[in-house]
Amino acid sequence: MAFVTAPLLEFENVGLSFKGVNALTDMSFTMTAGELFAVIGPNGAGKTSAFNCLNGVYKPQRGDIRWKGDSILGMRPDKVAELGIARTFQNIELFAHMTVLQNITLGRHIRTNVGWLAGAVWYGKAKREEMANREKVEEIIDLLEIEAWRSYPVGLLPYGIQKRVELGRALAMEPELLLLDEPVAGMNLEETEDMARFILDIREELGIAMILVEHDMGLVMDIADRILVLDFGQVIGEGTPLEVQNNPNVIKAYLGEELTA
């Protein structure tokens, strides 16, 4: 018998509604490890809601969400994060008065197994863990090229750098899947190109799978392996960037908007 591995992530007929209004209807897709998957769709299509279902902020009324074959429906957000699913937010959620270093180090919290008491008793283990934390944080600061800002309070930094720090904090959790909700929204061309490069580096160097939600079609068509298209909470297309660009349903939903890279 062939050995069959479960997909990394499965959405099966996920349905979510608010007071009878459907935000997601029968949303289904499958992702494999290391994949760069994009979810696109007009405003209000349900993209952020899908993230919220996945990381336990919303509980869908219908369907199932499986991580490596096991249902994670109804799991608390912190438990989902512990499984290895991290996210960044549509609106930056950092601690503005804390430094870049402190904000990124916060992401390590979830990976630290030594409680304060154990830490006091097994000093050696705590120390080893602290060293490992520092090493990881330095690796991230390096990868995202934010060395120059490491000691600045995040609130004082340009928007594009803040978005990078938020990405760094998610990476500090050493996720297997990273959810990026509009990582280049509000960025200029140069900042967008930098972010595209970092996203590709994360996949190449760290092998982390990602779901990218983005309105910047140029970016999505350029870097995504596969794209899922939502409209009014329903999947209206799925495929490679080329397939999606030539899908009549998708073209219709985006009528008047530029779909090509």
Q: Which is nearer to Mg ion, 94 or 180 (CB)?
A: 180
Could you say which of Mg ion, ligand ATP, none residue 25 binds, taking C-beta under 5 to 8 angstroms by partner kind?
none
Separation of alpha carbons 148 and 159, rounded Å? 15
Separation of alpha carbons 171 and 199, rounded Å? 11
Could you say which of Mg ion, ligand ATP, none residue 103 binds, taking C-beta under 5 to 8 angstroms by partner kind?
none
Separation of alpha carbons 242 and 184, rounded Å? 22
Are 172 and 105 within 8 A, CB to CB? yes
* Piece of 41-49, 97-105, 137-145, 252-260 that binds ligand ATP (CB under 6 A): 41-49
**163: contact with ligand ATP by CB under 6 A:** no
- Structure token pair of residue 138: 């330095």
Separation of alpha carbons 215 and 257, rounded Å? 11
Q: Which is nearer to ligand ATP, 46 or 175 (CB)?
A: 46
CB-facing half-sphere around the CA of 98: CA atoms within 13 A: 13
Could you say which of Mg ion, ligand ATP, none residue 49 binds, taking C-beta under 5 to 8 angstroms by partner kind?
ligand ATP
Smallest gap from Cβ 48 to ligand ATP, in A, equals 3
**20: contact with ligand ATP by CB under 6 A:** no
Assign 105 to helix, strand or coil: helix
**46: contact with ligand ATP by CB under 6 A:** yes
| Residues numbered 89-108 forming contacts with ligand ATP, rule: CB under 6 A | 90
Q: Would you give the end-to-end CA distance of the chain in angstroms?
A: 44
Separation of alpha carbons 30 and 8, rounded Å? 8
* Piece of 39-47, 97-105, 113-121, 157-165 that binds ligand ATP (CB under 6 A): 39-47
Q: Which is nearer to ligand ATP, 146 or 180 (CB)?
A: 180
What is the binding site for ligand ATP (CB under 6 A)? Answer: 18, 23, 41, 43-49, 90
